[in-house]
Amino acid sequence: MRIPFACMLLLLSAAVLAQPNERYKKFINQHINNKMSEKRCDQVIRDRDIKTINNKCKETNTFILSTNKPVKAICGKAGKPFGQMRKSLQPFPIIVCKLKNNVRPPRCQYRGKQYTRYIAIKCENGFPVHYDGDIVHFEN
């Protein structure tokens, strides 16, 4: 069966456009939770199946206490360039969950701590796809 060249280009274009959406969905799952609290790290990380690629407990995971829209806006007017990332113009409340034991999922245990920080994210096609970190203070 032959696929015309134009159809093949269309399929490849669709695959490229779909990729940021999949990465955006993963970003949301791993980093956005407006109802998160310091005491919920273990449960939320387990429920959302957050772990490393090689099925180990993730050392640190940060949740942004926000809805999707304000975080996505950092990729536009609510953020500015920061190397190859975008940094937020406003600080966000975050929960940083740090691993406190050395086991395999689902027995990971975390200690959560809340902060208010500017955040740095990587954007692709206007969507956040990677949480790079939180920053206490940006120099002008």
Catalytically active residues, by annotation: 31, 130
> Six-digit token pair at 132?
């790079």
What whole-number distance in Å separates Cα of residue 10 and Cα of residue 5?
Answer: 9
C-beta atoms surrounding 18 within 10 Å:
10
> Six-digit token pair at 31?
């980093």
Nearest by Cα to 130 from 42, 71, 90, 46: 71
What whole-number distance in Å separates Cα of residue 111 and Cα of residue 96?
Answer: 8
What whole-number distance in Å separates Cα of residue 65 and Cα of residue 48?
Answer: 16
